[in-house]
Amino acid sequence: VTKHVLDGVDVLSPGSLQYTEVDGVGVCVGRTASGDLFAIEDECPHEAASLSDGELIGDEVECPLHASRFDVRTGEVRCLPARVPARTFPVELVDGVAWVNV
């Protein structure tokens, strides 16, 4: 499924996170400080907190509940207590509009 999630690239400033839903799947979309867009599963694989409510630190998103960190490009766990990686999704800009593939 491909879904248009943002009306313009300016909506996401560097360092920001935004929740969206694609086909029933919660997705956390964001932009790193270096300007790269990413899309990662919103539900933390540890105990289901919303990663969109967390904080982006470099290329890692920190869960607001127990501070696990995940690499936003690969979903890899960078900091415990989570042990299971988060899913990530391709996101691309088409004519200034972001699309997420779930």
Question: What is the closest distance, in whole angstroms, from the C-beta atom of residue 74 to ligand FES in the complex?
Answer: 17
Residue 18: exposed, middle, or buried by beta-carbon count in 10 A (0-12, 13-18, 19+)?
Answer: middle
Nearer to ligand FES by C-beta: 66 or 87? 66
Nearer to ligand FES, 32 or 45 (CB): 45
Smallest distance from ligand FES to CB 29, Å? 18
Closest to ligand FES by CB, 37 vs 63, is 63
Return d(Cα 28, Cα 56) in angstroms, integer.
Answer: 11
Neighbours of 23 (CB within 10 A): 10
Q: Which is nearer to ligand FES, 6 or 30 (CB)?
A: 30
Find where tokens 């967390």 sit: 54
User: Which residues in this chain contact ligand FES in the complex, by CB under 6 A?
Assistant: 44, 46-47, 49, 63, 65-66, 68, 81-82
Q: Nearest 5 degrees, angle CA 29-CA 1-CA 15?
A: 5
Residue 44 CB, nearest approach to ligand FES (Å): 3
Q: Which amino acid is at 47?
A: E
